[in-house]
Amino acid sequence: MELFARDELEEAIETLHIATAFFTVDPVVDELLSMVDWPNGGKRLVESSAGDGAFLAAALRKLLAARPEVRDNEISVLMRGYEIHQATAYEARGRLEQILVDHGRSRSAARAVAHDVVIHGDFVKDCPDGPQWDCSIGNPPFWRMAHVPDVLRSVYERTLPSYSLADLLHGFIAKCAATLKHGGELAFVGSDRWMFSSSAAELRQVIGERFGIAHLRRLDCSSSFYRPKNRKAGQPPRIHPVAVCLRDTKDCVKQLSRLPVYPDADTGSVEGLRTLGEVAKVRLGPWLGPHGIFVVGPDVAATLPPEVLVPVVDTDNIKGGVYSPPSKFAIRTIPGEEPCSAVMAHLDAHLHRMPKSKQRTEKRWLPPETFARVDLSQPTLLVPRIASTLRPVRIPAGVLAIDHGISIVAAGEATLDELEEELRRPEAESWIRARAPRLENNYWSVTTTLLRQLPVSL
């Protein structure tokens, strides 16, 4: 970090603060603090991202209630918090100072203790490595690492293990776990996605070698956080939070591994049921690039040979679960065969609009994801990837779903009618809803992998 100018670092920290400063309300703080064995037996507690001091304040009150005689110099040994944002660190210190004054300390003594407890620094960089804490609590920042300013990201990439670099939350979880003693406990608020996303699979595996899940509860995003006074109010973070407590694996029934953990999933057994992937083909519609190149409207289609045109559907054709006939066409091209002059003339006039990363230097007549071998001879069921309900729509034979729409094709003994009936069952929607990543406005993201795993009674 010393390679960067000081004002650049301060600007980066301010950017980080603006993006991640969502502080936890007292009831959630109290819930998480009650999950760890604090302040019993001289155990030491750390808060990795102290914010305005909500967790530290609650921990200090518990310490003073349990040990009214605790000496000032013991407090900063028993508890510590790190806050990267200077003004917020000062606010946290002021909060602890007032608690100590209320408990009979002089103002100067209280100020000194608060200064020692709240470290103005970066937990990832400044907290010494190695096991030293018995309890780690808090609300670590959640932000995709790709969005973190370079001056900070460069430090994290050098400091944190590679499996924790997809998101700041992943990095803080890894660091917190690494600083806990044997038998230590980690209780925190975080985005639910670290529990089931593939980018966190190795993180879960490594953490799961020591820790299991002792407590897991979904939180209401709109009521679990508040913004600092100098930030916009009324804007909850764009995550779906959970409260988690991790303990030694021997003390937990629910283990942590590479496998996804779904906070809302029914743990009831589906033993003996086959999956949708075993009775049907589930495929992803190809992305053919920006419309106007390989996907054209009727005016352009009228200038091209009909044998190269395939009707296509996307989200524009599905409104309220109702299918409307195609109004666009895809140009079907074959890998080993250059198209006719009319097709090449059209493509050459428009291929400059293709994103550079998707432009082909050879066989430029092929789209980013070819569909030359896709069988369209049978009708299919289309499931939107972004949905508020699991409502499949029947698509006629000869029509191609594009832009990563999910198509389900009958296979084996199952008929399309039976598959449609299965997908419309309330149990199917409940199963998907409990496992699909949540989006805003009560929508969720459906994937081919998840659909293939859906238990069916066929």
Do residues 149 and 284 share a domain? no
3-state secondary structure of 312: strand
> What's the Cα-to-Cα distance from 156 to each of 93, 136, 171, rounded to whole Å?
26, 20, 8
Do residues 246 and 289 share a domain? no
Residue 341 lies in a domain: no
Q: What is the CATH number of the domain that holds 176?
A: 3.40.50.150
| 221, 255, 289 - which closes a domain | 255
DSSP 455: E
Q: Which residue has the tokens 């993201």?
A: 445
Do residues 100 and 165 share a domain? yes
Residue 106 lies in a domain: yes
What global pTM score does this model have?
Answer: 0.81
Q: Which residue has the tokens 């920290």?
A: 13
3-state secondary structure of 73: helix
Residue 337 lies in a domain: no
Predicted confidence at residue 226, as pLDDT, reads 79
Contact 97, 63 (CB under 8 A): no
Do residues 227 and 82 share a domain? yes
Q: Tell me which residue range forms the domain holding 314.
A: 274-332+375-456
Work out the number of other CB atoms within 10 angstroms of the CB of residue 381. 20
Ordered per-residue pLDDT tens for the chain, 458 residues: 444 566 899 999 999 998 888 889 999 999 999 999 999 989 999 999 999 999 999 999 999 999 999 999 999 999 999 999 999 999 999 999 999 999 999 999 999 999 999 999 999 999 998 999 999 999 999 999 999 999 999 999 999 999 999 999 999 999 999 999 999 999 999 999 999 999 999 999 999 999 999 999 999 888 888 766 544 555 566 778 999 999 999 999 899 999 999 998 875 556 678 999 999 999 999 999 999 999 999 999 999 999 999 999 988 888 877 888 999 999 999 998 999 999 999 999 999 999 999 999 899 999 999 999 999 999 999 998 888 888 899 999 999 999 998 999 988 778 999 999 999 999 999 999 999 998 888 889 999 999 999 999 88
Pairing of strands 386-387, 318-319: unpaired
Helix spans in 351-415 (H) = none
Do residues 193 and 328 share a domain? no
Q: How many helices (H) and strands (E) does the chain have?
A: 17, 24
Do residues 175 and 229 share a domain? yes
> What letters, b where the CB count within 10 A reaches 16 and e where it falls short, cover 185-200?
bbbbbbbbbbbbbebb
Burial of 355 (0-12, 13-18, 19+ CB in 10 A): exposed
Q: Give the bridge partners for 322, in sequence order.
A: 319
Do residues 449 and 400 share a domain? yes
Q: What is the CATH number of the domain that holds 279?
A: 3.90.220.10
Predicted confidence at residue 3, as pLDDT, reads 47
Q: Which residue has the tokens 């000062």?
A: 90
Residue 174 lies in a domain: yes
Q: What's the rounded Cα separation, in Å, for the pair 381 and 368?
A: 24
| 193, 224, 255 - which closes a domain | 255
Predicted confidence at residue 1, as pLDDT, reads 42
Q: Give the bridge partners for 445, in sequence order.
A: 386
| 255, 289, 322 - which closes a domain | 255
Q: Which residue has the tokens 């066409």?
A: 329
Residue 421 lies in a domain: yes
Helix H or strand E segment including 98? helix 86-102
Give the tokens for residue 52: 């305005």
Give the tokens for residue 127: 């907290």
Give residue 363's region: left, alpha or beta (phi > 0; psi -120 to 50). Answer: left
Contact 329, 312 (CB under 8 A): yes
Residue 84 one-letter amino acid: I
Give the tokens for residue 235: 């804007």
Residue 370 lies in a domain: no
DSSP 137: E
3-state secondary structure of 339: coil
Do residues 115 and 216 share a domain? yes
Do residues 289 and 402 share a domain? yes
100: Cα separation from own chain's centroid? 38
Residue 340 lies in a domain: no
Do residues 285 and 250 share a domain? no
Contact 136, 43 (CB under 8 A): no
Residue 71 lies in a domain: yes
Total tally of structural domains belonging to the chain? 2
Radius of gyration, alpha carbons of the chain: 27
Do residues 109 and 213 share a domain? yes
Do residues 175 and 287 share a domain? no
Q: What's the rounded Cα separation, in Å, for the pair 391 and 447?
A: 14
